[in-house]
Structure 1
Amino acid sequence: MDTGRFALFLLGALLLSGLFSYFQQRAYTGVTRRLAQQFAGNSTHVLVSGRSKGILRGAVVVLVIDTSAREVLAAEAMVGRSVLAKFRVRAELLGSSVTVVERATGKSVKKAVQGCLEQAEIVRRKGAGNRAPSRSGPARTEPA
């Protein structure tokens, strides 16, 4: 194989990798939008995601957690070793958010779920201190 063909082969592989990565990003965006719309309207529901990168396998987990009841309401994960992995519903992650890590199957999924829980805790802490005032409250007066 001469240098020109090898360069074309490498360029083609790079383009395919970029294309598959683009489709994975679209899948992630689609899952998060669908879950956000499905669970919109309740201030105690948070949508969080976590990821785990490994040498051979990785995982991306998206959870909807009810922070007041400490319960996982929806769970989807993309687990695999190639760019062809797809999001799938993970019913074993539904239930109490306290024990969700123990119910996760696989090292990469456990790590990704732990990342979700850390993110949910950050959102919960920020939300408790930064509640926006209600719109029906007293009108603001401008200083003279």
Structure 2
Amino acid sequence: MDTGRFALFLLGALLLSGLFSYFQQRAYIAVTRRLAQQFGGNSAHVLVSGRSKGILRGAVVVLVLDSTDQQVLAAEAMVGRSVLAKFRVRAELLGSSLSVVERATGKSMKKAVQGCLEQAEIVRRKGARAPSRQRPARPEPA
């Protein structure tokens, strides 16, 4: 194979990879929008996502948590080795959010679920913060 054909092959592979990545991004946006519309009416519901990147396998997990009773209400995950992975409903993650990491299957999914819980904790802390007080006005310089 000469250099020109090899360069065209690499360019084609790069374009296909970019195209499939675009479709994965669109799938992520569709899942988050659907879950936000489905569970958006209640202020106790929190939509969080986590990811895990590995050399051979990665995962993206989207969870809807009920912050009042610590329950996972909805769970979808994209786990795979290639750009052909799709989001699927993960019923095994539903239930108590206190033990959701143990119910996750696979190292990459456990890491992604842990990322979801960390994000939920950040959201909880921001929501629990006391309302900001106005700063006293600075005296005008003379």
Whether TM exceeds 0.5 here: the answer is yes
CA deviation vs aligned residue, 1:40-62 (integer Å, no higher than 9, x gap): 11111000000011111100000
CA deviation vs aligned residue, 1:87-120 (integer Å, no higher than 9, x gap): 0000000000000001111111000000000000
Unaligned residue ranges in structure 1 (runs of 5+): 133-144
Give the whole-Å Cα distance in 1 for the aligned partners of 2:57 and 2:119. Answer: 22
Q: Which aligned pairs between 1:54-65 and structure 2 lie closer than 5 A?
A: 54-65=54-65
Q: Which runs of 4+ in 1 moved over 3 A?
A: none
Closer, same or farther in 2 for the Cα pair 1:63/1:131, shift >3 Å?
farther
2:123 maps to amino acid: V
1:78 aligns with 2:78: yes
Aligned-residue offset at 1:131: 6.2
Unaligned residue ranges in structure 2 (runs of 5+): 133-142
Equivalent residue for 2:36? 36
Equivalent residue for 2:27? 27
Aligned-residue offset at 1:130: 5.9
Give the whole-Å Cα distance in 2 for the aligned partners of 1:39 and 1:127. Answer: 18
> 3-state DSSP class of the match of 2:63?
strand
Give the whole-Å Cα distance in 2 for the aligned partners of 1:97 and 1:81. Answer: 27
Q: Which aligned pairs between 1:94-105 and structure 2 lie closer than 5 A?
A: 94-105=94-105
Closer, same or farther in 2 for the Cα pair 1:56/1:76, shift >3 Å?
same
1:51 aligns with 2:51: yes
Equivalent residue for 1:122? 122
Paired positions, count: 132
Report the aligned-residue RMSD.
Answer: 1.2
Equivalent residue for 1:110? 110
Normalising to structure 2: TM-score of the pair?
0.90
Normalising to structure 1: TM-score of the pair?
0.89
Equivalent residue for 1:13? 13
1:41 maps to amino acid: G
Closer, same or farther in 2 for the Cα pair 1:130/1:48, shift >3 Å?
farther
